[in-house]
Structure 1
């Protein structure tokens, strides 16, 4: 394979963006395993005092998750959600955020986010790591990103993802967030915000397995849990689409009937995580490595779909709202693809 090397003369700003992206990408891929390994080493080699502290920490995790599902109220410490480090990560691609309509802060929202891609980079940057652009476009609305509940039961990992504004995707956690009062005078809203917006990467690990450059394949047709949650909590559903998300990584070919796909499906069923083999670029070359490619990602935030609140969602009504979400995503893709992705004429949206 011919290696395409990066030029020697690269502006310092781009070098810094590459360095930050390398560190963060390696962190994202290894953090769950690394957190467990660090805890194991501490427990094995630590003295009685260190082990006692760790046991106290384990009890705290259990109690805190039992009490409030490990939710970090408000936006947390802004230094963890908007700083120069994360701005370099945003600018590496770059990641952009586009508002199509205003979202009034008098209700809570579920952002049905597509596609997942390998890491869900667009959504996680705009609503997790660097929320400055979000707060500029959608004032008084707290952005959150929902991820696997097991992350919040893992020592060290839980604290890091909480700092990034992530919350558990469990039903209990979502209900707690999405039923918060929208009254500006409520004690929960003393931070000046009166609304919560929780992004759910609906396609999850299944959709990640279908992520290949230029292919927009959504796992949605049989995913209706987020619609039921919206109806139960009275939250509006906002479809969002991240153009370019699938282009920053390729992955080893895994057709539906391949041995690799069957292995990935088994692991996903057992753990909730699909073991992907991503292929990107290197720090000093553009041909192979673990870094994502520099490809523009544009997250377009669509119009809210209001729902009628009901503790027992009617199946026909769920199907109706779910169908509207699919229609809106299809319309958004056709409306914006020519503006935000190359080869738009041959790009099609597949919803399965």
Structure 2
């Protein structure tokens, strides 16, 4: 998870909510121009207003709830009365007990998501699309290695966590699950929201449980019609998010092999996915390697596992500043599964072999689809570090 600590203004967006190509937004402006606020016009259609509202609800929840949860809890403990303190202490014991028992595992897809499952507002805001390139037979479980992270991983959040009928139509009987940071499931209040959203912990115990589930349609766990679990992991994590800037596809993958080992231990196929446009819905304050800001971000990430970022976006009623993402097409291309031979003790040479196949598959997806989904694709390169 990423924590926003500030946001700054971005001028140059069209009054018709990002009908202008994304790269035209990031221009050099005079100081006088950057001080101007570009307000959204009043005559925007209701459906677009609703798209903005629902996207804002999700975005502000993801950005601010971790901060509120972290700082409100000690505040309440210190200033509240006896009954509230007692309730909180009981709640903390429950969190500890529940985590030790379930390790952040959430069965099903989460009832909160079900409330919005037939609401396409999240998807249509950008819009977000899903492209199938191969079958995912529901007779096995899958790890989806998802790239790039961007700032929020909005592509997989929409396709696999919110408006999922498109996913279910393309991949019937395959239950989509999104894995997020383990410490979210130990954070008061935040854990309740992400559990209701159907997310699961990326910790070893949680993944082993989900990826070892039976694929037998008659098994009691599969009475809801799903016989397969597809767990999406944003492999690049916070490190990759810090490299996210419009038009730059920089993947953190060379030394990330844990997901490959997990796939081999559980016999799960690896499905590489690539979300074109993910890096274009936000910019962030410049943080080149070895800059003071990057050194600060790395230090915080090393201590907490969380990377503080400074996003540049828009607001609900303006196009000049805020943390709401810009409208920009996101296309998640789901590649062909890479099958593995199950082994409780993965051989390092075999891990490297499968890891190499994942890199090759991502490079192929990028080359095959970049001309279709990236503007000025001849100037855009894929960097895997």
* Cα distance change of structure 1 residues 196 and 245 upon mapping to structure 2, 3 Å threshold: same
The aligned runs of 1:240-319 (5 Å cut-off) are 240-319=273-352
1:129 Cα shift?
2.2
Alignment partners' CA distance in 1, 2:173 and 2:110: 14
Q: Which has the higher contact order (CA 8 A, sep 6+)?
A: 2
Give the corresponding residue for 1:229: 262
Decide which moves more: 195-204 or 91-100.
91-100
User: Considering only aligned residues, what root-mean-square deviation do their CA atoms show, in Å?
Assistant: 1.6
1:16 Cα shift?
1.8
Alignment partners' CA distance in 1, 2:78 and 2:223: 44
- The TM-score normalised by the length of structure 1 is 0.95
1:82 Cα shift?
5.3
Question: Aligned with 1:328: secondary structure?
Answer: helix
Alignment partners' CA distance in 2, 1:310 and 1:126: 31
Alignment partners' CA distance in 1, 2:294 and 2:74: 31
Give the corresponding residue for 1:67: 101
Decide which moves more: 329-338 or 32-41.
32-41
* Cα distance change of structure 1 residues 70 and 326 upon mapping to structure 2, 3 Å threshold: same
Of the three residues 164, 179, 192, the one matched with 2:212 is 179
Alignment partners' CA distance in 2, 1:229 and 1:273: 23
Give the corresponding residue for 2:89: 55
1:45 Cα shift?
4.4
1:25 Cα shift?
1.6
* Cα distance change of structure 1 residues 50 and 85 upon mapping to structure 2, 3 Å threshold: farther
Give the corresponding residue for 1:22: 56
Question: Aligned with 1:199: secondary structure?
Answer: strand
1:23 Cα shift?
2.7
* Cα distance change of structure 1 residues 349 and 264 upon mapping to structure 2, 3 Å threshold: same
Give the corresponding residue for 2:159: 126
1:130 Cα shift?
2.3
Conserved 8 A contact 1:81-1:128: no
Alignment partners' CA distance in 2, 1:259 and 1:70: 35
* Cα distance change of structure 1 residues 176 and 84 upon mapping to structure 2, 3 Å threshold: closer
Aligned residue-pair number: 351
Question: Aligned with 1:96: secondary structure?
Answer: strand
Question: Aligned with 2:161: secondary structure?
Answer: helix
- The TM-score normalised by the length of structure 2 is 0.87
Q: Which runs of 4+ in 1 moved over 6 A?
A: none
Conserved 8 A contact 1:116-1:204: yes
1:310 Cα shift?
0.3
Alignment partners' CA distance in 2, 1:139 and 1:116: 25
Structure 2: stretches of 5+ with no match in the other structure: 1-30
Question: Aligned with 1:182: secondary structure?
Answer: coil
CA offset digits 1:126-176 (Å, max 9, x no partner):
111222221221111111111111000111111111111211111111111
CA offset digits 1:241-265 (Å, max 9, x no partner):
0000000000000110211111111
The aligned runs of 1:59-138 (5 Å cut-off) are 59-77=93-111, 79-81=112-114, 83=116, 87-138=120-171
Alignment partners' CA distance in 2, 1:131 and 1:344: 29
